[in-house]
């Protein structure tokens, strides 16, 4: 039986409408949150991503600025720009678009962002808050994955979840989010032995390793929820980390690529921007 394909468009629109409702209340009070997006160099994909983020912000009423630095920008140049934005009260969120061109020290730049303005959720303070279940800004893609599961009525508590990929951006944070919701979580990676057998035991599979069609259909447990985070270009087409056609015959629910998790990332960025504004306002009062 074919899987139930989860509609990323519908879930994205639900979240954006909830954010829009919050923003309308703020607008009635004469308040407009702000987001600054820093782009370095001429990476075509990054240019598209940042343009879409700014457009989405403006469409809901968030003030947004896209700051473009040349390919020759140094670590010190970025640190100076981040310091300026940290000091601007009208900017509630700061996003540094990755990847940064070498030899820029991306870790130093991300560490310089005020944790309260870190709408990507990458700062060690926010990651520490996530580990210890304290309030903080959560990385957008992992947060979006949890929204897909919750809004699609997919059980998490007590389920066996396998996360394939251990990045600081997706793999580790989503594993923590699942763990905090009482799933039993296994994180797999390039050195994991017997990977197919481990995946076969899981009721929830999150594929976030960046290898096209890596996860095969016969790895999937019958009826499992399969969340594909991969975005890979193959022969001019965008495909995920899961072999969609094979998995579609075994999974109970499945996210498509494109049209799945990727759509949630910007929606969660918008929500994080409003949350950043609210937390900074509360801290100042």
- The DSSP H or E segment spanning 227 is strand 225-228
275 noted as active-site residue: no
Contacts of 212 by beta carbon, 8 Å cutoff, 6+ apart: 230, 232, 234, 239, 240, 241
Burial bucket for residue 111 (CB in 10 Å: 0-12, 13-18, 19+): middle
- Distance, CA of 174 to CA of 208 (rounded, Å): 10
Q: Burial letters for 133-158: b for 16+ Cβ neighbours within 10 Å, e otherwise?
A: eeebbbbbbbbbbbbbbeebebebee
Q: What is the dihedral angle through the alpha carbons of 241, 247, 248, 253, rounded to the nearest 10 degrees? A: -80
120 tagged catalytic: yes
Q: Is the dihedral of CA 15, 110, 44, 189 positive or negative?
A: negative
Residue 159 is among the residues annotated as catalytic for this protein: no
Catalytic residue among 53, 92, 114, 172: 53
Burial class (CB in 10 A: 0-12, 13-18, 19+), 241: buried
Q: Which of 120, 228, 241, 243 is catalytic?
A: 120
CA dihedral 115, 119, 124, 125 (to 10 degrees): 40
Q: Which residues are catalytic?
A: 53, 97, 120
């Amino acid at each position: 039986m074919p899987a139930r394909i989860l509609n990323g468009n519908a879930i994205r629109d639900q979240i954006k409408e909830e954010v829009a409702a919050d923003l309308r209340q703020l607008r009635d009070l004469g308040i407009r949150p702000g987001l600054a997006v820093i782009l370095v160099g001429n990476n075509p994909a990054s240019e598209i991503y940042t343009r879409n983020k700014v457009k989405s912000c403006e469409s809901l009423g968030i003030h947004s600025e896209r700051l473009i630095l040349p390919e020759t920008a140094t670590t010190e140049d970025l640190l100076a720009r981040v310091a300026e934005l940290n000091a601007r009260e009208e900017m509630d969120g700061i996003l540094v678009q990755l990847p940064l061109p070498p030899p820029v020290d991306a870790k130093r730049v991300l560490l310089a962002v005020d944790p309260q303005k870190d709408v990507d959720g990458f700062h060690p303070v926010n990651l520490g808050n996530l580990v210890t279940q304290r309030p903080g800004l959560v990385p957008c893609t992992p947060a979006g994955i949890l929204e897909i599961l919750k809004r699609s009525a997919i059980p998490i508590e007590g389920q066996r979840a396998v996360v394939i990929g251990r990045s600081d951006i997706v793999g580790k944070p989503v594993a923590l989010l699942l763990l905090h919701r009482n799933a039993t979580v296994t994180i797999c990676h390039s050195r994991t032995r017997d990977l197919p057998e481990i995946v076969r035991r899981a009721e929830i599979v999150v594929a976030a390793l960046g290898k096209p069609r890596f996860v095969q259909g016969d790895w999937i447990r019958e009826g499992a929820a399969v969340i594909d985070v991969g975005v890979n270009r193959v022969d001019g087409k965008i495909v995920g980390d899961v072999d969609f056609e094979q998995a579609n015959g075994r999974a109970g629910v499945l996210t498509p690529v494109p049209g799945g998790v990727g759509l949630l990332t910007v929606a969660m960025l918008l929500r994080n921007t409003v949350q950043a504004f609210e937390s900074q306002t509360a801290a100042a009062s």
